């Protein structure tokens, strides 16, 4: 039975998978759009939307200590001060009124080498 099995392992160890997700999401915030495989994009979507929510909360917080708290939560998730700065200053203001669904996954054919399904993963 698959009780409480709520993520894709992607054939990697936990540490490798976390590093992969951080790298994908940092690249997404930096470029706005990346091309990856469909399973990686679907898994990175969960991580990216959580980080965007941290950025929104940091942006909308009235108390400076609360804003700093959410920035630090985003930093602990992404491990990149540059990505957190981009997240809070550029990405989060675009989604201030939106209640979720910040990313889009569009299928983009198949890779030539191994016929893996490619996807374009982008910010809405």
Show me where the domains of the chain are located: 38-123
Residues listed for the chain:
124
What pTM does this model have? 0.93
Q: How confident is the model at residue 2 (pLDDT cuts 50, 70, 90)?
A: confident
The candidate with the shortest Cα–Cα distance to 54, out of 83, 14, 34, is: 83
Which pLDDT tens digit goes with each residue over 64-115?
999 999 999 999 999 999 999 999 999 999 999 999 999 999 999 999 999 9
Which pLDDT tens digit goes with each residue over 54-71?
999 999 999 999 999 999
Place of tokens 């989060």: 92
Residue 124 has pLDDT above 90, yes or no: yes
Fold of 38-123: 50s Ribosomal Protein L17; Chain: A, (3.90.1030)
User: Which tokens in the block code for residue 30?
Assistant: 């930096």
Arithmetic mean of pLDDT over the chain: 96
Q: Within 10 Å of residue 36's Cβ, how many Cβ atoms?
A: 21
CA distances from 5 to 2, 9, 58, 111 (A): 6, 10, 31, 28
């Amino acid at each position: 039975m698959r009780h409480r099995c709520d993520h894709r392992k992607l054939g990697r160890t936990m540490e490798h998978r976390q590093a992969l997700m951080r790298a994908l999401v940092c690249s997404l915030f930096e470029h706005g759009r990346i091309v990856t495989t469909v399973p990686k994009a679907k898994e990175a979507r969960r991580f990216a939307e959580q980080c965007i929510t941290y950025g929104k909360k940091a942006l909308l917080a009235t108390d400076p200590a609360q804003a700093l708290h959410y920035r630090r939560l985003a930093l602990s998730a992404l491990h990149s001060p540059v990505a957190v700065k981009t997240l809070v200053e550029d990405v989060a203001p675009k989604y201030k009124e939106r209640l979720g669904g910040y990313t889009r996954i569009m299928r983009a054919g198949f890779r030539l080498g191994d016929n893996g399904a490619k996807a374009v993963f982008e910010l809405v």
